[in-house]
Structure 1
């Protein structure tokens, strides 16, 4: 049987400067070694009822009539509904697209979405906006802690780059729905979401208790399931929020912070992938907040001695590195995942 992923659980709710520095250190070391971190959800930074309410809206959205969702179909600005098999996250190894539906929400201005919404959830626009704000504020806090932990000068370097007051960004709130195996045309060897690493700076992932499927690729090149509730969190008010480093932040820090490959599978004993208390008998819902810096942000050298001294394997001292903007980095990744959307626009 596959061993579950060993990912640190960190409580970032500390208030004192001394405690914050310790938390920042732990956060950075987890980001360097694992690329994934469980953030303990005490309800202080993220009200439990807000998470529960967002999941209820997600179920309502994906149960909406097909024509409602089709009227909000995915657009080149990375917003809207994508149907089953529309996205292919691992095109080299997948015979068909991902076995999932998704809905991407871009920015809200004064609580109003800047995109069409399905009628079934349109009256909940302010609730979605408020949940997105909670996610955004938590990402700002994590970015600040990463800056402190890396000794960046100034410590709010990453945070400043993510401030919406400085411009628009590729930040997206994504709701996801994965049907169970019997309700699909999939075989047990098919993948629900292909192996990939995330595009942006950091991702917040919310999951429901008992719903299996997420795996990460470990350093020894094996897949390990990621429990929704790791040991010690079973009795918390809500499952911990899973945070992972994205490609952009890894690139920005010269590879010091790890962007870990992960996937979503149809789990089962035949694969040796079983997490106690988790099953695939019901639909799987998750919510991801993909945080990006302001699009015009240049991804040049981070003002951190630790980052500047770090050399990934194969890179020589003084070797030039291409500097691109946050938007250029995002567009590069989107074109690889949505070939049918972009191929006729070249």
Structure 2
């Protein structure tokens, strides 16, 4: 089992922390983002009670009758609202030749509710090509506290993402606010993934979530404690279970940040494994997954400290919105062709 580093952000938040404590945190962060791109964090300003309440509210939504959930069913390509069990295959858009079998696997064993920005969202301000990737939110009428609870959690995750980006800036030798004007209209999304208990064997090759990478800058995950969890793909192609300490968040780098950092940091392929059938109803799992993305018009060009004469930039500049929209459209195209 892979024990990814657990970093305490107290050295960043606590004004009484020493310079040495912060320097140690930055070194640990750079090391793990360059190695697997995965870490756990604690010492955030998000309370465990808030996370637990949000998870319980989400479970109350998924416990409803299928007809009730289907009332807020996502329109294909809109990337908002409810998606039923086995309607997605996260591996279908992967390029790697050694993942060909995963691209042909049955759809994943999870249902999802997807939420976009909750404040000051105006489609009129968006370029036409963004209207599918950044569609307005869809909200259910029940549970009655669902909307306000998810809006509050979204805001907390967006703030935590910005704090992490401040740390990233310090790691890279940049001003602490270097990312600020690139993420002040962040277009991140909150995916609430529900993995029902598995009482019958899955189809051959079928997983809770197939192998994939994330698209954006960073991802923050709050999973419930249940079997059948995260696995990461090692550099030599093996799958390893990831141990997640209770009450912590899992953070990983997305494709856009890997590109932004000129591949100094890595976006690692990962998946969600099936639980053993012996766990029965206890195998039910839920994850709150926040995908952070920059402003849609932010230019993703090589970060200045990540390239130079001895390390030329590998990628051409691209607008963040164009990058994410292309990834999402490719995902749906690959899914329809699967």
* TM-score of the pair, normalised by structure 1: 0.81
Consecutive unaligned residues of structure 1, counting only runs of 5 or more, are 230-237, 271-277, 312-316
User: In the alignment, is the contact (CA less than 8 A) between 1:216 and 1:261 conserved in 2?
Assistant: yes
User: Within 5 A, what are the aligned runs for 1:306-325?
Assistant: 307-309=306-308, 318=312, 321-325=315-319
2:151 aligns with: 129
Shift of residue 340, structure 1, vs aligned partner: 7.7
User: In the alignment, is the contact (CA less than 8 A) between 1:212 and 1:228 conserved in 2?
Assistant: no
Distance 1:256 1:8 in 2: 18
User: Within 5 A, what are the aligned runs for 1:1-346?
Assistant: 4-14=1-11, 15=14, 16=17, 18=19, 19-40=21-42, 42=43, 45-75=45-75, 76-91=77-92, 92=100, 93=102, 94-109=104-119, 114-152=136-174, 154-164=175-185, 169-182=186-199, 186-187=202-203, 189-229=205-245, 238-268=246-276, 281-304=282-305, 307-309=306-308, 318=312, 321-339=315-333
Shift of residue 220, structure 1, vs aligned partner: 1.8
Paired residues in the alignment total: 309
The Cα RMSD (Å) is 2.7
- SS of residue matched to 1:181: coil
Distance 2:308 2:87 in 1: 41
Consecutive unaligned residues of structure 2, counting only runs of 5 or more, are 93-99, 122-134
* TM-score of the pair, normalised by structure 2: 0.83
Moved over 4 A (4+): 317-320, 340-343
Deviations 1:212-254 (A, max 9, x none): 321000112100001232xxxxxxxx42100000001001111
Deviations 1:153-196 (A, max 9, x none): x33222331112xxxx430011111122225x623642111100
Distance 1:188 1:54 in 2: 33
